[in-house]
Amino acid sequence: MHVLSTFLLAIGIASVLCLLPVLTAGSPITEDVGDNRDEDKIVTSHYPVGDARRCLQESAQNYFRMERFEVLPGNGWDNLQNEPQVQIVAFNYSQCRTTDDGRFLLPDTVTTVPIKSTDLQLFSDLISNTEEWTSVTSRSINLDAGLDNKFISISGKYSSEFTDMKSKMISDKTVVVRTEARYVRYSVHLQPDTPLHPTFRSHLLQVAAAHEREDEESARYLAELLVRDFGTHVITSVKAGAAIAQVDHLKEEWMKKNSEQKNEILASASFSLFKLNLSASVSFKSKTESSYQSGYLSQRTSSVVRTYGGPVYKPINFTINEWAEAADRDLVALDQTGDPLHYLITAAMLPECSASILSQLNPLTGSLSCPSGYQPVRIQEIGWCNIGMVSGNCNLCPICYISITTYWCTAWDSAKVVPSNHGYLFGGLYTSSVSNPVTGSPSCPSDFFALRVGYTRDLHVCVSADLEFGAKGAVPFAGFVSCLTGNPLAIPGDRMNSKGDEWPQRCPEGYSMHLATVDLDCQLNYCVLTRAMRGNVTPPLERPPFVPPPAGIFWDEKEINHTDDRSSQSLSPGAAAGIGVGVTLGIVLLVIIVYQLHGRCRRTQSRYSSMTEPVAAGASPPGYGASHVSSNL
C-alpha cells in the first residue's frame, strides 16, 4: 500500500462538537428565574467604563453568559528564547465588543476571525539536524521577524524546546520525529496604533529624555533594560487553538538503515501517539504496520508528550475524539507573528518627543564626503518616514522617525596608485560586549581613535592617520561586507561600474571574514588578512542590559535584580598585526541622521540651535569625528 510522503489525516469532528454541553460561554442562561426577574430594574455597575468587568457584569444582567478572551496579541516577546513578556499595549473595553460567535469579550482594538473549519490535522515531521527544527507555537515569528540570513538563523535557538532537543540529538546520536495534532479556532489581530501601556510608554520616555539631554550612556542603558523587560518584539497577531505534540528521539543509525521507509516510520509515530483510536469510520491498514510499529518503539531512546491548551493528556485510554471534544474550551496561542519593538516608536505613539539631528562627518574631509580618489560605499541604510497629519490643527508634514546611512570609502580606480599618505590604518574594532582582537579589550591600539558606526553607535572602528607610529597596531584590511552591499575589493577591474548588491559577499583571496556586529537585523562583516585575528565564532547569549547602570539612573530594583550573572568573554588578540594598508582603507564615513519623534507640527518656522560634542580624553584631536547636533526648541 502506498503511503503518502507526509502522513496527514483530516478528521471531521463536527459530530464531536455537537456533543458539547448546551450551556457554554456565549450562550443564554436558560435557568428559570421566575418572579425574581424584574424587567424594569436597572443595576448600576461599580466598574468604570472601559473595564472588562463592567461588560461582563452587564452581560450577566441581560442573562447572557460571556467570558473574556485570553489569547490576545499586544504582549512583548523574546524572540531568542521564545518567551512571552509583559504587556506592551493598553486595552480598553468601552465598546464591549465580542467575537463574531458571541462567545468571548474582546478589547476595542482587537479583532478576531473565527476559523469555521472543523478539521483536525495530524502530521509527523522528521528532524535529522537542528536547522530543520521549528517551534510548535512560534514558527511564524521566528521565520518572519527574527534574525535570519542565508548563513545563520538564531531565532528561538535559545528556547528550552530547542536546547533540550539539540542536547539529546548530540549526546544520544538520535534524530527527532515530532507528531502533532492541531486545532485552530480563531485568528486574532491587533489593530494599528493601539495605545501603549502606561508602563512601557513611561520607559520609552525615559530613554527619549536621556537622548534629549545628550546622555548617551544613560539612554543606552535604559534602552537595554527596556529590551530585557519587554522583549525584542511585540505580538501583532495570534492563532488561537489547542495542540498536542509527541517528540520521539530515534537512534540515528537505525534511521539511516531504514531511510527508504521514511513514510512508514512517520506513520508509526502517529500510531504510537493516537493508537488508532480515532473513530469508527477511520481506519488505516498497512502490511508493514506491525513490524515497523515494534521496530519504532524498540529504537526510541526518549519520548515526551506535550499539550498546548485543551485537556490534560491522559496516556491510558487516550482517544483523539475525547481530546478534540474538550480542545475548544481552553485555547492558547498556537502560532504568532510580530514586529520588532522599535516599530512602535512613532510620532502618533509619542507626540511629546522633539526632533533632533545628529551627523558624524568624515574626519579627513570635514564633510559628508570622501577624499579625492576614493568612492563612498554604502553599508547600511535604515529609515522610517511618513507623510501625514501629526495633529488635527496642522498641515501635512513629513515625519522621519529614524534615518541612518553609513558609508565607508575605498580607492575607486584600481589602475591608479593611491598615495601612501592618504587614508587611514585599520586597528580592529569592538563593541560594548566584544573586545577588540588587536588589544584584547574594548579599546583601540595606541595612536588610534574610534569612529562609531550604526544605528546604536555601539560599533567602534579603530583608525589612525599616523602611518608611522600607528603601523605597529595596524591590521591588513580588505573591506566591509553588509546585508545591503557586497565587497568591491573582492572583484578585479573597475569595481564601481557594478551595483553594490552585485558585489560578492566575500573577501579577497588571502583574507578572511569576521563578524563586526548585527545592527537592527543587518549583519556587518569585515575582511582582514587570514590569521591576523582570532576569536569565538558564536558568543554566548547575554540578556540586556549589557552596560553598568550610569549614575543618576533609577530603575525598579525588582526588575534589575532578576538579571542573570554574565561573564564577559572577549575575543583573543590576533597573532600578527599587519601594517601599511591605509592606502586601501580610505575612511569610515558615517552619515547618521536620527530624527527623534516629532512632537507637533508648527505653523511658525522652527528655531534650531547647534552644539558640538566635547572631545573626551584620549579621543581624536579637533577636527576628527566632529558631530553636529540640532535640537528642536
- Identify the band that residue 265 occupies on the pLDDT scale cut at 50, 70 and 90: confident
* Percent of the chain scoring above 70 in pLDDT: 64
Quick one: average pLDDT of 485-503? 72
Position 482 pLDDT exceeds 80: yes
Query: What kind and span of H or E run contains 211?
Result: helix 198-212
CA 403 to the chain's CA centroid: 20
Encode pLDDT of 365-393 as tens digits: 878 888 888 888 888 876 655 444 444 44
Q: Which residues pair with 67 in a beta bridge?
A: 104
3-state secondary structure 578-611: CCCCCCCEEEEEEEEECCCCCCCCCCCCCCEEEE
Give first-to-last CA distance, the chain, whole Å. Answer: 78
State the number of CA atoms in the 13 A half-sphere of 49 facing the CB: 2
Evaluate whether 619 touches 449 at the Cβ level (below 8 Å): yes
Evaluate whether 340 touches 233 at the Cβ level (below 8 Å): yes
Closest CA to 504 of 520, 490, 519: 490
Position 293 pLDDT exceeds 60: yes
Read off φ and ψ for residue 558, nearest 5 degrees. Answer: -65, -35
What is the rounded distance in angstroms from the CA atom of residue 206 to the CA atom of residue 222?
Answer: 7
Q: What is the chain's mean pLDDT, rounded? A: 72
- SS3 of residue 415 by DSSP: coil
What is the rounded distance in angstroms from the CA atom of residue 627 to the CA atom of residue 159?
Answer: 41
What is the rounded distance in angstroms from the CA atom of residue 533 to the CA atom of residue 535?
Answer: 7
Read off φ and ψ for residue 497, nearest 5 degrees. Answer: -75, -20
Provide the pLDDT for residue 98.
94
Evaluate whether 244 touches 324 at the Cβ level (below 8 Å): no
Evaluate whether 595 touches 402 at the Cβ level (below 8 Å): yes
**Number of other residues whose CB lies within 10 A of the CB of residue 515:** 16
575 burial level (CB within 10 Å; 0-12, 13-18, 19+): exposed
Comparing 316 with 515, the larger pLDDT belongs to 515
Encode pLDDT of 304-327 as tens digits: 889 999 888 877 777 777 888 888
What is the rounded distance in angstroms from the CA atom of residue 444 to the CA atom of residue 588?
Answer: 15
CB proximity list for 502: less than 8 A, separation 6 or greater = 486
Comparing 362 with 582, the larger pLDDT belongs to 362
* Cα dist from 14 to 10, 100, 320, 520, whole Å: 12, 19, 13, 47
* Percent of the chain scoring above 90 in pLDDT: 21
Encode pLDDT of 385-434 as tens digits: 544 444 444 444 544 455 678 888 887 765 555 666 677 899 999 887 78
What is the rounded distance in angstroms from the CA atom of residue 128 to the CA atom of residue 262?
Answer: 12
For 112-126, 498-512, 577-591, which range has the lowest pLDDT when averaged over its residues?
A: 577-591
Provide the pLDDT for residue 82.
93
Could you tell me the maximum CA-CA distance found in the chain, to the nearest angstrom? Answer: 102
The one-letter code for the residue type at 518 is: V
* Cα dist from 530 to 244, 313, 448, 523, whole Å: 50, 56, 22, 20
Provide the pLDDT for residue 281.
34
Evaluate whether 598 touches 349 at the Cβ level (below 8 Å): no
- Helix %, strand %, coil % of the chain (to 5): 20, 30, 50
Quick one: average pLDDT of 489-509? 74
Read off φ and ψ for residue 2, nearest 5 degrees. Answer: -75, 130
What is the rounded distance in angstroms from the CA atom of residue 61 to the CA atom of residue 64?
Answer: 7
The owner of cell 488505516 is 284
| Predicted structure pTM score | 0.55
Most confident of 39-53, 184-198, 266-280: 184-198
Position 290 pLDDT exceeds 80: no
Encode pLDDT of 430-455 as tens digits: 887 788 888 888 888 888 888 888 77
Provide the pLDDT for residue 354.
63
